[in-house]
Amino acid sequence: MWQLYQFPLCPFSRKVRLLLGEKGVAYDLIRESPWQMRDEFLDLNPAGTTPVMVDEDTNATLIDSQAICEYFEETVERFPLISGTAAGRAEIRRLVAFFDQSFYGDIVAPLLHERMKKRLVERAPPDARILREAMKRANTHMDYMDYLLDHRSWMAGGTMSLADIAAAAHVSVADYLGGIDWSSHEPVKRWYAGFKSRPSFRPLLSERMEVIAPPAHYEKPDF
Amino acid sequence: MWQLYQFPLCPFSRKVRLLLGEKGVAYDLIRESPWQMRDEFLDLNPAGTTPVMVDEDTNATLIDSQAICEYFEETVERFPLISGTAAGRAEIRRLVAFFDQSFYGDIVAPLLHERMKKRLVERAPPDARILREAMKRANTHMDYMDYLLDHRSWMAGGTMSLADIAAAAHVSVADYLGGIDWSSHEPVKRWYAGFKSRPSFRPLLSERMEVIAPPAHYEKPDF
Residue B79 CA to residue A43 CA, distance in Å, equals: 32
Contact indicator for A200, A18 with CB cutoff of 8 Å:
yes
Neighbours of B130 (CB within 10 A): 13
Low-confidence ranges of chain A (pLDDT < 70): none
Q: How far apart are CA B62 and CA B53, in angstroms?
A: 5
Contact A40, A122 (CB under 8 A): no
Helices (H), chain B: 11-23, 39-44, 65-75, 86-97, 109-111, 128-151, 162-176, 186-196, 202-206
User: How distant is the Cα of A120 from the closest Cα of chain B, in angstroms?
Assistant: 24
Kindly report the CATH number that applies to the domain delimited by A2-75. Answer: 3.40.30.10
Q: Which of A200-214, B60-74, B98-112 shows the lowest mean pLDDT across its residues?
A: A200-214
Q: How far is CA B32 from CA A139, B44, B50, B108, B201, in A?
A: 27, 12, 8, 19, 20
Q: Mark which residues 148-207 of B lie under 8 Å from A by CB.
A: none
Q: In this predicted structure, what is the pLDDT of residue A127?
A: 97
Interval B106-160: pLDDT, tens: 999 999 999 999 999 989 999 999 999 999 999 999 999 999 999 999 999 999 9
Break chain B into its structural domains and give their ranges.
2-75, 86-206
Chain B contacts of A25, Cβ < 8 Å? none
Q: Is B98 on the interface with A (CB under 8 A)?
A: yes
Please name the residues in contact with B8: beta carbons below 8 A apart, sequence gap of 6 or more. Answer: B207, B208, B209
CB contact under 8 A, B94 and A63: yes
Task: Give the angle A193-B42-B51 at the CA atoms, nearest 5°.
Answer: 100
Per-residue pLDDT of A5-21, as tens digits, reads 999 999 999 999 999 99
Q: Is residue B221 scored above 90 in pLDDT?
A: no
Report pLDDT digits (tens) over B153-204. 999 999 999 999 999 999 999 999 999 999 999 999 999 999 999 999 999 9
Q: Is A104 on the interface with B (CB under 8 A)?
A: no
One-letter identity of residue B211:
V
pLDDT value of position B222: 84
Residues 63-82 of A with CB under 8 A from B: 63-64, 66-68, 70-71, 74-75
| CA–CA distance, A208 with A23 (Å, rounded to integer) | 24
What's the rounded Cα separation, in Å, for the pair A129 and A126? 9
Residue B223 has pLDDT above 90, yes or no: no
The answer to whether domain A86-206 has CATH 3.60.120.10 is no
Which segments within chain A are labelled E, that is strand?
Answer: 2-6, 27-31, 52-55, 61-63
- CATH fold match for the domains A2-75 and A86-206: no
Distance from the Cα of A69 to chain B's closest Cα (Å) equals: 9
Backbone phi and psi for residue B43, each to the nearest 5 degrees, phi listed first: -65, -35
Quick one: average pLDDT of B74-88?
98
